[in-house]
Chain A
């Protein structure tokens, strides 16, 4: 759902401000696309994820309608969608002058909300260009819960301008007290195409070491609140790991609809280009090469706390973890960056911070 009320200065996703008419047109195109893909794929779905942009901009009615369409087109045999998430902005869903009908969503089968909290400090939220305050975020959580949606995830940002451990602690405590079941905590990356990039030297960004410390602090705190880390940036209460997102890291198939959405089906990766009108015109997605190879499997598995499990590798590719890779992993283990045992090799929190060079090094031994 490539719509946003306003563009945040750090964001390089494909999204823009749109009129109701445009959102309407887009929803129809999406529904057509759902129909045609269901016809083509002839398989059911067990998870659904509305990402963005800001799906909540489309309003509960349209989201419910699209969800129903997915059920009808893909799961006509009565199969259940185990997890159906909608990304929401506090400004759309928690402001006192806005009515967002969580109940309608719940009735349509949505059972998970991912809320763009980013920070529980209004000054930090404002610096990040977020429209609403912490109060609205709290209100949105309350309303969702009241509608029976208790699987709530909060997005946090780490290493944002001026962030200190104390400020971060405040946001982490908010997550713990809000009753959320899941937290995604992302280290801010300054992307070249964003307004932040142009002024990055004036942003008072935490340096590399401070950023690393903030991340480790977040991991430690979240764990202490019962949010167990299961991926580089993801933490959940027992049993609340995001079923949908795990599929990406386990190289399972997925279908992404809408401009800039990516898919992985039958070993092929493809995507709709960042071009709304092309999507509205019903243009075919672009090929993005083969996927699901062993390198990809390894690099994605190593994003998970569980790591690269030998049994999985054997099942999928018929090989064990190469001894030279194991040896390299053991060197990293001595540096406190990995943990290794007979069953698996996995990164530690400190290792996650260095996951690019570590994974790259390990893949040299593939």
Chain B
């Protein structure tokens, strides 16, 4: 029955919000109210179905769900809620999700008002010509000031808030008003169902039963089971097995999907790589002349080595990466080996958050103990013999005497922030070798600061530093633009006389001294005292530029061991054995995983 809804009664929308302003909770309530899902089935926050997403409060992979809503006018509407990921690493995915919508619900916390991402998301939505539906949330909080916040939205964003529903997604208060506003304010989709098929892929997931399920917004034309579809970017053709709509707890197959609708396609697609986000689906029999705009081939920007802490887990790690890749086309990996870490994988990611997410999922969902090396970008190195090599692993950095010149990737970076923080932000960007381009006031007290920045300065905890300098009020977006010549050197870490290849990394020469010092200090803090003294050295091309020493351990003893302590003593020894497993053995030195992370996260403050 859901398929019979006419195009005028379709509303395609997403929800945008600053982190913690209640996006997922509101989505839950909308689902509940449209009875898409019974209370019983709802483990809260249905849209974010990975544990990790729930914990981090962000949505990593987009999902979509169709809500059938009987509005006040007596008509039944199909409201397609398209969820969007919320981090810079996934900006491209967000833009494709937005491109599938006509409207966006803008959620603002009644106690906190407009914050960093509120504005960035608003501009992103306006870029896609979306109709904005402001919603003031969390009115149940004692500190809620809905009138003030509504006025702020009107003033800063220029959005009429006279009709903005004031709701509590937590208690469910006034949620129906949100649905009514969506029906009223979000335009019905356009598109021509008689034109050749053009369907925008905004997500795809791997399902072990159905293979790859492609989430699409039909822009023009129609598609049904039995059709042969073509991916316009890759040219690959597949036979359509099933089309349908996604409801909250199940999918419902339908005869066809037509212009304006949001739905899914199952075809004989084996990997998500074959149905890339942003690609256009058309029909082989009657292909569209032009693909939809905005497709980008997404390439990994950040690489690092991932190794099993226990060499015996190598096979399990490979299997886990293969499984993750089924659902994550932007993750790449290939075998590599390290002198000290043994066999592992060189993995490519969209950015640092993507890296952390993958690492956590591997550890959590696949129960693997991992050692992750310092991330690197891809450097282009011209050798004296005229050849150019691309290096994504510092271990492969050529002998400095053979290098003619180096190039590193640069980005165009935009930081949106309250004007108060401009000083701190600029200081941070300068420190990260940023080149100031311009700054525009987007409102009285909000600025868009534009810098050109080397990518390798961004991947080391830039976002964390930015957040801490702006109390979380700044948001940040970047795009790799070009490669530029740069004076780069490789830093090597030497522990107790042994070079730890997994800790080597490439850095701008000017920054090598302070960075080397910090690395040495951090390692000293994080390498526990052992039975002997451990010299820590950081060197550039054999020249030691920083040095610290971990003093030998002096005291680790169970002073009392009488009748009742013997079992405890045995357990203590067991624990010591376990603790050892979490350490990485480098020659005679044991280095805990945290030490690697500490070197990676060198906060500048």
Binding site for B on A (CB under 8 A): 51, 186-187, 189, 208-209, 211-212, 215, 232-233, 245, 248-249, 254, 256, 260-264, 269, 271, 288-289, 291, 295-296, 299-300, 303, 335, 337, 352-360, 363
- B555/A256 in contact, CB under 8 A: no
Residues of A within 8 A of B531 (CB): 335, 337, 354, 357-358
Say which residue of A299, A300, A357 sits within 8 Å of B556 (CB atoms).
Answer: A357
- A-B contact list, 30 entries, CB within 8 Å: A187-B555, A187-B559, A189-B559, A208-B554, A209-B551, A212-B555, A215-B555, A232-B557, A232-B559, A233-B560, A245-B562, A256-B564, A261-B564, A262-B563, A263-B563, A264-B563, A291-B566, A296-B566, A296-B570, A299-B573, A300-B561, A335-B531, A337-B531, A352-B557, A356-B556, A356-B558, A357-B531, A357-B576, A358-B531, A360-B576
Name B's interface SS. Answer: loop
Q: Does B384 contact A (CB under 8 A)?
A: no
- Which 8 A-B pairs rank lowest in CB-CB distance, beginning with the nearest? A212-B554, A262-B564, A186-B559, A356-B556, A187-B559, A212-B555, A262-B563, A360-B576
User: Given A335-B532, A357-B531, is A187 in contact with B557 using a C-beta cutoff of 8 Å?
Assistant: yes
Nearest chain A CB to B561's CB is how many angstroms away? 6
Nearest chain A CB to B587's CB is how many angstroms away? 15
Nearest residue, chain A, Cβ from B576 = A360
Interface centre among B554, B559, B560, B566 (most CB of A within 10 A): B559
Residues of B within 8 A of A209 (CB): 551, 554-555
**Apart from A271-B564, A288-B567, A335-B531, what 18 extra A-B contacts exist at CB < 8 Å?**
A186-B560, A208-B554, A208-B555, A209-B554, A212-B554, A212-B555, A215-B555, A232-B559, A233-B560, A248-B561, A256-B563, A262-B563, A264-B566, A353-B556, A354-B553, A356-B573, A357-B576, A358-B531
Nearest chain B CB to A333's CB is how many angstroms away? 13
A349 to B475, CA, bound (A): 58
- A356/B564 in contact, CB under 8 A: no
Nearest chain B CB to A94's CB is how many angstroms away? 24
A49 to B352, CA, bound (A): 62
Q: Which of B547-595 contact A (CB under 8 A)?
A: 551, 553-564, 566-567, 569-570, 572-573, 576-577
Q: Which of B510-569 contact A (CB under 8 A)?
A: 529, 531-532, 551, 553-564, 566-567, 569
Nearest chain A CB to B582's CB is how many angstroms away? 15
A211 to B557, CA, bound (A): 11
Residues of B within 8 A of A358 (CB): 531
Residues of B within 8 A of A289 (CB): 567
Residues of A within 8 A of B566 (CB): 248, 262, 264, 269, 291, 296, 300
Nearest residue, chain A, Cβ from B551 = A209
A254 to B576, CA, bound (A): 28
A266 to B210, CA, bound (A): 62
A186 to B557, CA, bound (A): 10
Nearest chain B CB to A130's CB is how many angstroms away? 18
Q: Which of B128-179 contact A (CB under 8 A)?
A: none
Q: Which of B219-271 contact A (CB under 8 A)?
A: none
Residues of A within 8 A of B564 (CB): 256, 260-262, 271
A211 to B529, CA, bound (A): 15
Say which residue of B529, B557, B562, B567 sits within 8 Å of A353 (CB atoms).
Answer: B557
Residues of A within 8 A of B561 (CB): 232, 248-249, 300, 303
A254 to B573, CA, bound (A): 23
Nearest chain B CB to A214's CB is how many angstroms away? 10
A337 to B567, CA, bound (A): 25
A248 to B558, CA, bound (A): 15
Nearest chain A CB to B107's CB is how many angstroms away? 41
A295 to B567, CA, bound (A): 12
A322 to B529, CA, bound (A): 28
Q: Which of B316-332 contact A (CB under 8 A)?
A: none
- B557/A356 in contact, CB under 8 A: yes
A57 to B292, CA, bound (A): 87
- A363/B573 in contact, CB under 8 A: yes
- A269/B559 in contact, CB under 8 A: no
User: Given A232-B559, A354-B555, is A359 in contact with B573 using a C-beta cutoff of 8 Å?
Assistant: yes
- B555/A360 in contact, CB under 8 A: no
Residues of A within 8 A of B551 (CB): 209
A353 to B554, CA, bound (A): 7
- B555/A299 in contact, CB under 8 A: no
Nearest chain B CB to A262's CB is how many angstroms away? 4
- B570/A299 in contact, CB under 8 A: yes
Residues of B within 8 A of A233 (CB): 559-560
- B560/A254 in contact, CB under 8 A: no
Nearest chain A CB to B226's CB is how many angstroms away? 66
Residues of B within 8 A of A248 (CB): 561-563, 566
Q: Which of B57-103 contact A (CB under 8 A)?
A: none
Nearest residue, chain B, Cβ from A184 = B560
Residues of A within 8 A of B576 (CB): 356-357, 360
A289 to B577, CA, bound (A): 20
- A262/B567 in contact, CB under 8 A: yes
Residues of A within 8 A of B577 (CB): 360
A89 to B555, CA, bound (A): 29
A249 to B569, CA, bound (A): 12
- A355/B563 in contact, CB under 8 A: no
A357 to B558, CA, bound (A): 11
- A355/B558 in contact, CB under 8 A: yes
Residues of B within 8 A of A352 (CB): 557
A198 to B572, CA, bound (A): 22
Nearest residue, chain B, Cβ from A331 = B531
A354 to B561, CA, bound (A): 15
- A299/B563 in contact, CB under 8 A: no
Nearest residue, chain B, Cβ from A213 = B554
A254 to B562, CA, bound (A): 11
Nearest chain B CB to A293's CB is how many angstroms away? 9
Residues of A within 8 A of B570 (CB): 295-296, 299
A269 to B570, CA, bound (A): 12
Interface centre among A256, A264, A360 (most CB of B within 10 A): A360
A341 to B566, CA, bound (A): 27
Residues of A within 8 A of B560 (CB): 186, 233
A262 to B555, CA, bound (A): 27
A248 to B556, CA, bound (A): 21
A249 to B566, CA, bound (A): 9
A300 to B562, CA, bound (A): 10
Nearest chain A CB to B578's CB is how many angstroms away? 11
Nearest chain B CB to A257's CB is how many angstroms away? 11
Nearest residue, chain A, Cβ from B558 = A356
A360 to B570, CA, bound (A): 10
A244 to B344, CA, bound (A): 55
Residues of A within 8 A of B529 (CB): 208
A23 to B573, CA, bound (A): 37
A145 to B531, CA, bound (A): 45
Residues of A within 8 A of B569 (CB): 299
A355 to B559, CA, bound (A): 10
Residues of B within 8 A of A269 (CB): 566-567
A215 to B567, CA, bound (A): 25
A354 to B558, CA, bound (A): 9
A164 to B558, CA, bound (A): 21
Nearest residue, chain B, Cβ from A209 = B554
Residues of B within 8 A of A260 (CB): 564
A291 to B556, CA, bound (A): 24
- B572/A356 in contact, CB under 8 A: yes
Nearest chain A CB to B529's CB is how many angstroms away? 7
Contact mask for chain B residues 468-507; partner A; CB cutoff 8 A; 1 contact, 0 none = 0000000000000000000000000000000000000000
A212 to B562, CA, bound (A): 22
